[in-house]
Amino acid sequence: MKAVVIHEAGPPSALKLETLPIPTPAEDEVLIRVKAFGLNRSEMFTRQGHSPNVKFPRVLGIEAAGVVEKCPSGKFQPGDKVASAMAGMGRDFDGGYAEYTCPKAKNTQLLETDLDWTVIGAVPEMLQTAYGSLFKSLKLQPTDRLLVRGGTTSVGLAAAAIARNHGCFVAGTTRKSDQASAELMRKSGVQQVIIDDGNIAKKVKDNKFTKVLELIGTTTLWDSLRCVVEGGIVCMTGIVGERALDLKCAYSFFRS
């Protein structure tokens, strides 16, 4: 099979197209012929050398969607449409940047859809991240006022749509003041568009939020923590701001 392999951390040129043996599934695994996979920032960070637990060489890709080739346990049948994400994919074992991948069957989901593979490939990690952040971390309730910090990101748009369908009031931020960005968020359920100048807390001080989904990261986390009411929850899921968590900074904040 063809696969994109990384042997050492580096720029995009560190990713090499190579030929590897098709993996053989164990009893608890499923062999998937990959039709599409999403590209994630976590893979970029791994490629740059920021994932010390990932051993090279490795086929990256924390998600994949495709068709079942073999499933020794019988959980899936050949030809089934499936998707899998996380659980070590692309980190502990070779992932989605290949023609085949071999995740655990328990971490694979049967799909019943006629959507195009280009759409299916973008869905697994995005929706898993949005849903998990909203309901597992933020404990979202229909009565919540939610702020999505990073509202035009894929996870932000998905989270806004899910939260709005759940009955929540949803606000979203964008650094761009153009109509297109605002309209994109509104189509996904955002009711209040806030232009992010780095000081959202000042803008919402008289009408704070019960929950904040922080997708920018540590560059805006401090400000986001000041956007919630007393007893509110902030979940930092994204790091599109590209700065690692400064633990000293976080410690100082919670001490203040």
| DSSP conformation class of 97 | S
**How high is the pLDDT of residue 242?**
58
End-to-end CA distance of the chain: give it in Å, rounded. 55
| Among candidate residues 116, 30, 121, the one with its CA nearest the CA of residue 68 | 30
CA atoms of 16 and 58, how far apart (whole Å): 11
pLDDT of 39 > 50? The answer is yes
**How high is the pLDDT of residue 244?**
54
Instruction: Give the Å distances, CA to CA, from 80 to 66, 72, 109, 124, 200.
Output: 8, 14, 10, 16, 46
**How high is the pLDDT of residue 241?**
57
pLDDT per position as a tens digit, 141-194: 999 999 999 999 999 999 999 999 999 999 999 998 889 999 999 999 999 999
The mean pLDDT of 63-78, rounded to a whole number, is: 97
pTM: 0.83
Q: Is the backbone peptide bond immediately before 78 cis, with ω within 30 degrees of 0?
A: no
**How high is the pLDDT of residue 239?**
78
pLDDT per position as a tens digit, 238-256: 777 555 555 445 444 444 4
pLDDT of 5 > 60? The answer is yes
pLDDT per position as a tens digit, 48-67: 998 999 999 999 999 999 99
Higher pLDDT, 149 or 217: 149
